[in-house]
Amino acid sequence: MKDRTLKSNLYHSLGQEVQPKRLGETINYCTEIMKEQMFYKEEPRTSFFQYLSDVFRFEGIPIFILQAVTLFFVCLMIASVADIPQNIPIFMPLFVVAAMPVLFKSQLYGMSEIEAVTRASGAQIMLTKLVLAGSANLVCITIVLCLEVSLQNDCSKLGQMVLYCLVPYLVCMTGMLRMVRLQRRKSIWTCAVVMLGSCVCWAFISRVIPWLYATSAIGFWLIAFVVFGIFFVKEVLFIVEMRKEGKMYGIIA
């Protein structure tokens, strides 16, 4: 293409002839912008607690509503079932199930890839949701324990009842986090089946192995609490490590 033809095409495209003076001004202006970009000030990172507050505005209400509904159902069942201490573990997995819709939201809606490239990182998002869900769970468990003591009218077995609450809860939370980390999209349904199946398992144990709930078996519950507590803490520490590295927690699906 000849220079005259090129000049004609540019003239018709731009609507006017290119002026060397204006062109030089534009080049200088772009050069100044590029120089400023070389010395930009890094924005301060959002603190974890500030980010937790932001997530609470979007996820806090769904978490607490689901937990409140589950708590109402559990309290209703406990108040109507005999041999209450033995039946406490049956209901603990339900609080984990109530937290699943929020914790599995990115996998359920196919948003894992977007979360992986955000500034907060997928691990920080998971950690904040876990903190909110765990807080709601602890409140619900405390209310259940208060109801148990009130119905039993006896505080002598409070330590045992605390273990009856925490051991099944830690087992289910650890299992759920591993499913989030190791399984792909739609693993929420697998997790729901496992959690509900654990309710049946605890009900079966309370009927078949009643001696497990005797005072003499308190050592077994303490060992189980320590073992699954370690597994749960290790999983949480792994999330914290992924958060520091700005990585995704789990498989992008």
Is residue 30 one of the residues assigned to a domain? Answer: no
The pair of three-digit structure tokens given for residue 63, joined into one six-digit string:
């978490």
Is residue 115 one of the residues assigned to a domain? Answer: yes
Taking only the tens place, the pLDDT of each residue in 121-151 is 667 778 888 888 888 999 999 998 888 888 8
Is residue 18 one of the residues assigned to a domain? Answer: no
Is residue 24 one of the residues assigned to a domain? Answer: no
Is residue 10 one of the residues assigned to a domain? Answer: no
Gap between the Cα atoms of 161 and 206, Å rounded: 14
Closest of 71, 88, 83 to residue 152, by C-alpha: 83
Is residue 3 one of the residues assigned to a domain? Answer: no
* Residue 160 confidence (pLDDT) above 70: yes
pLDDT score, position 1: 46
Going by pLDDT thresholds of 50, 70 and 90, the confidence category of residue 166 is very high
* Residue 40 confidence (pLDDT) above 60: no
Gap between the Cα atoms of 181 and 238, Å rounded: 10
Gap between the Cα atoms of 243 and 233, Å rounded: 15
CA 230 to chain centre: 19
Is residue 20 one of the residues assigned to a domain? Answer: no
First to last CA, the chain: 50
The DSSP output letter for 60 is I
The pair of three-digit structure tokens given for residue 234, joined into one six-digit string:
């290790």
The pair of three-digit structure tokens given for residue 218, joined into one six-digit string:
């308190």
Going by pLDDT thresholds of 50, 70 and 90, the confidence category of residue 170 is very high
Type of residue found at 237: L
Q: Tally Cβ neighbours within 10 Å of residue 176.
A: 26
Is residue 39 one of the residues assigned to a domain? Answer: no
How many structural domains compose the chain? Answer: 1
Q: Determine the structural domain holding residue 223 and report its residue range.
A: 48-245
